[in-house]
Structure 1
Amino acid sequence: MTHREIMEALTGLLLAMFVAMLSSTVVSNALPAIVTDLHGSQTGYTWVVVATLLTMTATTPIWGKLADLFSKKLLVQAALVIFSIGSVVAAIAPNMGVLIGARAFQGLGVGGLTALVQVVIASMVSPRERGRYSGYIGAVFATATVSGPLLGGLVVDSPLGWRGCFMIGLPVAAIAFVVLQKTLHLPTVKREVRIDYLGATLIMGGISLILVWVSLAGNNFDWISGTSAALVAASLLLIAAALWVEARVAAEPVIPLRLFRDRTTALATAASVMIGVAMFGATVYLSQYFQLARGMSPTEAGLMSIAMVGGLLVSSIISGRVITRTGLWKRWLVGGMVFVIAGIALLGTIDAETPLLVVGAYMALTGIGLGATMQNLVLSVQNNTAPEDLGAASSVVAMFRSIGGSAGVAALGAVLAHQVTSSVKDGLGALLASGQVSPEQLAQMQHSTGDIPDLAALPAPIRALYEASFGEAVGHLFMVAVPFAIVAFVCILFIKEVPLRTTTGSPSVAESEIEAGVVATGEAVDYPAFDVEGEGARVGERR
């Protein structure tokens, strides 16, 4: 494909990716209003996010496998339709149960869009040139992340209310559907379909039970109890069964375990899990921090997100262009994780009194690190994978990042709920002793300390107590996330850098030898002299 043909097809793909990203970011600032309006709890807040992440996680590898078997264009369009149906149901949800179910269905489409956009781009563009286009992906990611909270905040504050947040992505989805129909033309692989539904079901079941245990333990039942033991045992049993099915039974497993024999894939996958915990688990609660700890409106909370996304935008574009020019990517992963660790550690020091300029600077630092890390981890795996496994390998990395995100959101949400509840109960007792609240107010509040309150309706002393409790608890979440970011950094250090291929197909023996730097006899060879400015590349001759 020529550069023009790639850009035309990329337009539809980027619109689809924009829709997928918008689905989570546009809701982030609406969540406090949604949970208050539908009389939900902190657990409900968590599961509105986790439901989408969970179904996205479970179906991402299936979409990746389908991409190796069917028309990629048709699959992207199907994912857009599924996403749109879920959005409509979420917009009319009468209670938290229906909303969480609709978000889970929406996640089926988001999983397809997340996996397929990466797979289609990998099919069109060689790894060496992919950095050139990953900058566009980073820009769309940043645009959706910036505009999402802003749009969500404006819609929540408008007559449409929070329900409008689920509708604004529908026109973009429709445009993406039409553009892809006209511009995306890729060959379709025709072979027998063997989808590993059993493996996918077992994986989803095992992960779901762990997340249910993490999010409900401590509130609905004790951490050390018969219920906890049953949930953990059932989860481990399902995951063990899933591994057995993937290794011994499935003809075309959802997660081909042989992929993990490659060191780069194994380490990048482990790093993706840790980044998912640190990134999703901590940052999803920033909007709650700004609205409940700092008293901001949804629109103002959306404006604060610009700090993190601005850093992400700049670093993703710059890193993509430099990687295309040099073919070297590991230094960006290492440097990016240093910034992520520093940013998350600094965010761990915030509370309800931290100056907003300081909070914004810490967010920008984290964004710079994430922009240089997330896309390039996928690139490192794609560069090491055989073409027939490209879909599966790309989706495995995305899947494990989502698993980390789901676990992080659920676990840190449980930590947040427990810490806020404990702090509020202690604070209410002190307010009662000082005469700032009446016994009637105390009795009413102690029945709902696990709920997300409507701050505007609370007496001033109790509102100040909630704001201080949320501010301190969110800072604590980032400190909990730091060790996970450090583990990701260690994994990245041990990834072996392989110069990026210049072809989309399987590399020839000669090119493989050149990339490795040696020939079969052990003689040294020249590395390829890449023609970065042109559409192709020329390979140096063997000595």
Structure 2
Amino acid sequence: MADNNSIATLAEPDNVAVPPQPTGKSRAFYMSFLAICVTTFLSAIDLTAVGTALPTIAEALHDNKGDFTWVGSAYALASTAFILLSGSLAEAFGRRPIVLISIAFFAIGSAIAGAAQNMNMMIAARAIQGVGGGGILALSEILVADLVPLAERGIYQGLIGLVWAFASSIGPPIGGALANANLKAWRWLFFLNLPMSGFAFVLVIVYLSVKRPEGSIRSKLAQVDWLYVFLCALRLSLIVLSGNAFVIVGSGLAIIGLTWGGIRYPWASAQVLAPLIIGLVMLAVFGVYEAKVPAYPTIPLDVIGNRTSLAGLLTTAIHSITSIAVIYYMPVYFQAALGANPLRSSVEMLPTALVISPFAFFAGAGISILKKYRGVNMLAWCFTIIALGLFTLLRDHTPTAKWVGFQVLVAAGFGMLFSAPVFPILAPLPPNRAASALALFTFTRAFFQTWGITIASTVLQNELERNLPSAFVAQFPAGYEIAYISIPVIRAMDPSDPLKGQVQAAFALSMRTVWQVMVGIAGIGLLACFLMKDVPMVNELDETYALKEAKDKKVVDVEKR
């Protein structure tokens, strides 16, 4: 492993002591940044809205086998598969065409999801959506790095956080309102993505005018890991069957083992152990393969080869696991334990969505002002750990003031962690490595969101099997996952029926275990911060992908001299 001090030294240019002053931004810059914000909004609103509507979607598509877990996991796995690929393609062919292709995939997947007639069709559609969503997320981060030096990026990273948080705040109410209307209205949750995708597509074509790298098509194709392309295509075609190779098949098989364990089959059974063990082995094979690639590896080894960047990736991974668990399973608590309908549960999630926004901005702005990021990351994890610990106190009779206050605290931590980890990842690296590092950053976030959904689902399902009254469980076929499909049943029960109160108490008790697990995982995020060093942040850009207008202006200035 490379020595962090040496890498940090290489990343510091001669003018660190007297950094160049921030340059004025052109109209082309602001319109390009607007295009980035629109694509980020598109991806974020889909993520948060689907979680609230998922119980209704599962009911409408007659999901009796618990396949609802894959509605989130299929999106995240497909997104994960194409994030690093999209980064490689953007390096070779330029940013704009890859952004446009990503938006097109997202729109096609949305149309198919809206027309889905069964859960398999929905899962396949979400996989196609994930391909586009992964590209959108990766390119949004990369484009910000292209346009803004790291030393100035805090404000703009905070603005991206604001957009993400705003989309997160309106996503749950939209999902809840559509899910609450009837068993068909939820389809508009996906159809509404189509006009927004069209708007984003036009905005990117008109305003995102960035330079494209020089070189022949052949030389550009040589920069792409085509074995990984093949595996990505294979992932897309086999997403419903959960078959693939290396990182995708490994994670897919491991997730199947975790999902089935203790629900469909005993933990010690071959049906659970076989996919779990094979999946972990495949992930190890992926790591060996990456280490042996002589050029253009999918995982940039120089990024994970220094402790500060590695610590930033670890905090990103832990943040992804814990935040997605809250986004997906707090609505379950509200609907199952407190008896809220989808619309009300989305309103009850507003403290989380609204508070994330300002804290995401303040974290980015604070880092830009202080020129230090280690303390901000540590503070964010302290908020998160305390809040998740308080979540373990939630019960079926918890007063409103408590669950609102707990959400405000966890949202403060999550909001800061939407902006803060990218700085330790990039600070030790030269500007021309930012794109590869940010693709890995986005890959890490999407990959571990999949694990966050799966871990929370597995814990909840196993706890429900243990805590729910047998009289209630008897209504469902043996071996089925009932976390989501039981919510409409609970809502339909007579409030005076003692069994309803027992079921709601059992759900709250089972959710407590989920939050206990998340507290332990969040502790790893805090420990990772101790690996970081506050490396000086440079005020330079990689001119290879700068705005064309900016380049033309520099040429004119030189000629005048």
Cα-to-partner distance string for 1:318-347 (whole Å, 9 max, x where unaligned): 222222223222221111111111111111
Is 1:251 the counterpart of 2:279? The answer is: no
- The alpha carbon displacement at 1:449 in A equals 6.8
Q: Distance in 2 between matches of 1:222 and 1:362?
A: 35
Segment drifting more, 113-122 vs 345-354: 345-354
**1:255 counterpart letter in structure 2:** I
**1:211 counterpart letter in structure 2:** I
1:347 corresponds in structure 2 to: 391
- The alpha carbon displacement at 1:447 in A equals 4.8
Check conservation: 1:43, 1:215, Cα contact below 8 A. no
Tell me: CA distance 1:463–1:92, structure 2 relative to 1, closer, same or farther (3 Å): farther
Q: Distance in 1 between matches of 2:474 and 2:366?
A: 61
- The alpha carbon displacement at 1:448 in A equals 8.1
What is the 5 A alignment of 1:495-534?
495-505=532-542
Tell me: CA distance 1:495–1:42, structure 2 relative to 1, closer, same or farther (3 Å): farther
**1:504 counterpart letter in structure 2:** L
Q: Distance in 2 between matches of 1:442 and 1:185?
A: 58
Is 1:192 the counterpart of 2:220? The answer is: yes
Segment drifting more, 63-72 vs 13-22: 63-72
Is 1:88 the counterpart of 2:111? The answer is: yes
Cα-to-partner distance string for 1:279-317 (whole Å, 9 max, x where unaligned): 213431111111122111222111112111222111111
Check conservation: 2:318, 2:525, Cα contact below 8 A. yes
Q: Distance in 2 between matches of 1:275 and 1:220?
A: 29
Q: How many residues align?
A: 493
**1:395 counterpart letter in structure 2:** A
What is the 5 A alignment of 1:303-342?
303-342=347-386
Tell me: CA distance 1:186–1:499, structure 2 relative to 1, closer, same or farther (3 Å): same
**2:537 counterpart letter in structure 1:** L
What is the 5 A alignment of 1:396-411?
396-411=440-455
Tell me: CA distance 1:233–1:321, structure 2 relative to 1, closer, same or farther (3 Å): closer
Q: Distance in 2 between matches of 1:156 and 1:61?
A: 34
Q: TM-score, normalised by structure 2?
A: 0.84
Residue ranges of structure 2 left out of the alignment (5+ in a row): 1-23, 232-245, 544-561
Q: Distance in 2 between matches of 1:26 and 1:450?
A: 22
Tell me: CA distance 1:179–1:346, structure 2 relative to 1, closer, same or farther (3 Å): same
- The alpha carbon displacement at 1:8 in A equals 1.1
1:68 pairs with 91, 97, 106, which one? 91
Q: Distance in 2 between matches of 1:446 and 1:225?
A: 20
Residue ranges of structure 1 left out of the alignment (5+ in a row): 429-440, 507-543
- The alpha carbon displacement at 1:349 in A equals 1.6
Cα-to-partner distance string for 1:120-173 (whole Å, 9 max, x where unaligned): 010010001111211211111111100000111122233652111111222111
> What's the secondary structure of 2:421's corresponding residue?
helix
Check conservation: 2:356, 2:414, Cα contact below 8 A. yes
**1:162 counterpart letter in structure 2:** W
Cα-to-partner distance string for 1:467-487 (whole Å, 9 max, x where unaligned): 222222122211111111111
> What's the secondary structure of 1:499's corresponding residue?
coil
> What's the secondary structure of 1:22's corresponding residue?
helix
Is 1:264 the counterpart of 2:308? The answer is: yes
Higher relative contact order (CA 8 A, sep 6+): 2
Check conservation: 1:26, 1:150, Cα contact below 8 A. yes
- The alpha carbon displacement at 1:3 in A equals 4.6
Q: Distance in 2 between matches of 1:81 and 1:305?
A: 30
1:32 corresponds in structure 2 to: 55
What is the 5 A alignment of 1:114-513?
114-158=137-181, 161-190=185-214, 191-193=219-221, 194-199=223-228, 201=231, 202-249=246-293, 251-426=295-470, 428=471, 443-445=474-476, 447=478, 450-451=481-482, 452-453=485-486, 454=488, 455-459=490-494, 460-505=497-542
- The alpha carbon displacement at 1:179 in A equals 1.1
What is the 5 A alignment of 1:12-31?
12-31=35-54
Q: Distance in 2 between matches of 1:274 and 1:321?
A: 23
Check conservation: 1:270, 1:488, Cα contact below 8 A. yes
Cα-to-partner distance string for 1:380-428 (whole Å, 9 max, x where unaligned): 21232233332221121222222222112112201111211322244x2
- The alpha carbon displacement at 1:209 in A equals 0.9
Q: Distance in 2 between matches of 1:331 and 1:458?
A: 49
Q: Distance in 2 between matches of 1:184 and 1:33?
A: 38
**2:521 counterpart letter in structure 1:** F
**2:492 counterpart letter in structure 1:** A
Q: Distance in 1 between matches of 2:461 and 2:294?
A: 40
Q: Distance in 1 between matches of 2:62 and 2:98?
A: 37
Q: TM-score, normalised by structure 1?
A: 0.86
- The alpha carbon displacement at 1:445 in A equals 4.6
1:513 corresponds in structure 2 to: none
**1:458 counterpart letter in structure 2:** M
- The alpha carbon displacement at 1:197 in A equals 4.2
Tell me: CA distance 1:117–1:470, structure 2 relative to 1, closer, same or farther (3 Å): same
> What's the secondary structure of 2:416's corresponding residue?
helix
Cα-to-partner distance string for 1:465-509 (whole Å, 9 max, x where unaligned): 332222221222111111111111111122001122111139xxx
Q: C-alpha root-mean-square deviation of aligned residues, in Å?
A: 2.0
Q: Distance in 2 between matches of 1:375 and 1:77?
A: 25
Tell me: CA distance 1:402–1:50, structure 2 relative to 1, closer, same or farther (3 Å): same
Q: Distance in 2 between matches of 1:442 and 1:500?
A: 56
- The alpha carbon displacement at 1:240 in A equals 2.6
- The alpha carbon displacement at 1:443 in A equals 4.9
**1:466 counterpart letter in structure 2:** V
**1:494 counterpart letter in structure 2:** L
**2:225 counterpart letter in structure 1:** D
Segment drifting more, 359-368 vs 194-203: 194-203
Check conservation: 1:136, 1:317, Cα contact below 8 A. yes
> What's the secondary structure of 2:92's corresponding residue?
coil
Identity among equivalent pairs (%): 25
**2:151 counterpart letter in structure 1:** R
Q: Distance in 2 between matches of 1:303 and 1:250?
A: 52
> What's the secondary structure of 1:2's corresponding residue?
coil
**2:145 counterpart letter in structure 1:** A
Q: Distance in 2 between matches of 1:397 and 1:305?
A: 27
Q: Distance in 2 between matches of 1:185 and 1:87?
A: 27
1:517 corresponds in structure 2 to: none
> What's the secondary structure of 2:299's corresponding residue?
coil
